[in-house]
Chain A
Amino acid sequence: MKENYFDTTPLIKWQRWSWYIFSAYFALVTVLFVAGSGIAETLTVWGIVGILVSTLLKIFLFVIQFQKAGLFRFSLLSYLLVVILLSTVILKYWIL
């Protein structure tokens, strides 16, 4: 019988690749800052957005893995965490 458990491998891979990509990205942006390029600041903005989106997607990996492990209550709590994180954006752009 196959046992259900929280598989951390996708989470580890996601974090590792995020780190590699953003390391290279911000190294490049710093070089552009040194070179005095005007695009460097815009690229930093998108880099920060990328880091935040990557963190959000990390929580969706939690949702998937909790569901696979049969821990549905925790997958719902993970959704709640997403909602709380997004609430600042929703409040800023759609409500306030």
Chain B
Amino acid sequence: MPDLAVYILCGLSAGLLGGYLGLGGGIVMVPFLTVIAGLDFKVAVPVSVTAIVFNSFASSNEYLKRGMVDLELVIILAIFMVMGNITGSNLSQVVPAEFSRLVFTVLLVYTAFSLLKGRKTTERLAFSDNRRKFFTICVFLAFFTGIMAGLLGVGGGVILVPVLYLMIGLPLTTARGTSALMIGFSAAASSTVYFLNDSINFSVVAPVILGIIIGGKLGGFLGTLAKPVVVKVMFFIVMLYLAFRLGYDPLMELL
């Protein structure tokens, strides 16, 4: 019973962050499940990717409704990202958890600082389409993102959105929408691999998903009440703490 409450809290935090700040859930779920709930890193990752598949139903729908998804790009890049996900998820069987934890720590610190710094919200007025020019590199980056996402249990939006925005030249909101829909397919590939390898802890998945549902709704509500700066600073501190706890042991072993 206390465990269930902690799992719900993990999902709630991920949903809250997603609903309020537009961050993906994996970057919060994996360290929360590992550090706070005390689960093994390799148990936390499959739970996270499964919850991400569920979360993508709601997150991408908002962008679809507003016509802010490049559907052709979704299909092309999803093919390569899914292949990367399958590779990454299978690699996680052989890659030591300490290595994955260290890579995740770097990703967490990067995300925490980008969250605090904030993104430039200036939207492009003219649509610049560089998809032919940067096709090969985008395909490679989609594949690479897939590997990292499958290995670390994250969606991959932290890499995808800058690729779509800065390289392809999509407007920022369309880049986010396109990424949100793609993540649903790629996380499904990872989840399938983990499911077939019997790596998913079923007693953790359901409460985490319930937490995401509540957190997502709360995040939307919080957006009307709290100042973004307060929440950003709060999550920045939490993420740095999680990064420290997640990376300390593997780093000490390495040194």
Q: Do A and B bind each other?
A: yes
Q: How far is the CB of A38 from chain B (nearest CB, A)?
A: 11
Q: Is the C-beta of B185 less than 8 angstroms from some C-beta in chain A?
A: yes
Chain B residues whose CB sits within 8 angstroms of the CB of A47 once the complex forms: 205-206
A18 CA to B1 CA, complexed, in Å: 28
The residues in A between 30 and 59 inclusive whose CB is less than 8 angstroms from any CB of B are 30, 33-34, 40-41, 44-45, 47-49, 51-52, 54-56, 58-59
Q: Is the C-beta of B191 less than 8 angstroms from some C-beta in chain A?
A: yes
Query: Can you list, as one digit per residue, whether each of B70-84 has a CB less than 8 Å from chain A (1) or not (0)?
Result: 011001101100110
Q: How far is the CB of B48 from chain A (nearest CB, A)?
A: 13
A interface residue count range (under 10 / 10 to 19 / 20 to 34 / 35 or more): 35 or more
Nearest residue, chain A, Cβ from B193: A88
Establish whether residues B78 and A81, one from each chain, have CB atoms under 8 Å apart when the complex forms. yes
Chain A residues whose CB sits within 8 angstroms of the CB of B4 once the complex forms: 30, 33-34
Q: How many B residues touch A, CB cutoff 8 Å?
A: 41
Nearest residue, chain B, Cβ from A80: B79
A29 CA to B205 CA, complexed, in Å: 10
Query: Can you list, as one digit per residue, whether each of A11-43 has a CB less than 8 Å from chain B (1) or not (0)?
Result: 110011011001100110110011000001100
The residues in B between 22 and 58 inclusive whose CB is less than 8 angstroms from any CB of A are 50, 53-54, 57-58
Known pairs A8-B67, A8-B69, A54-B57 / 7 extra A-B pairs, C-beta < 8 Å: A15-B64, A45-B202, A58-B184, A81-B78, A84-B86, A85-B189, A88-B196
Question: Could you list which residues of chain B lie within 8 angstroms of chain A, going by C-beta atoms?
Answer: 1, 4, 8, 50, 53-54, 57-58, 60-61, 64-65, 67, 69, 71-72, 75-76, 78-79, 82-83, 86, 184-185, 188-189, 191-193, 195-196, 200, 202-203, 205-207, 209-210, 213
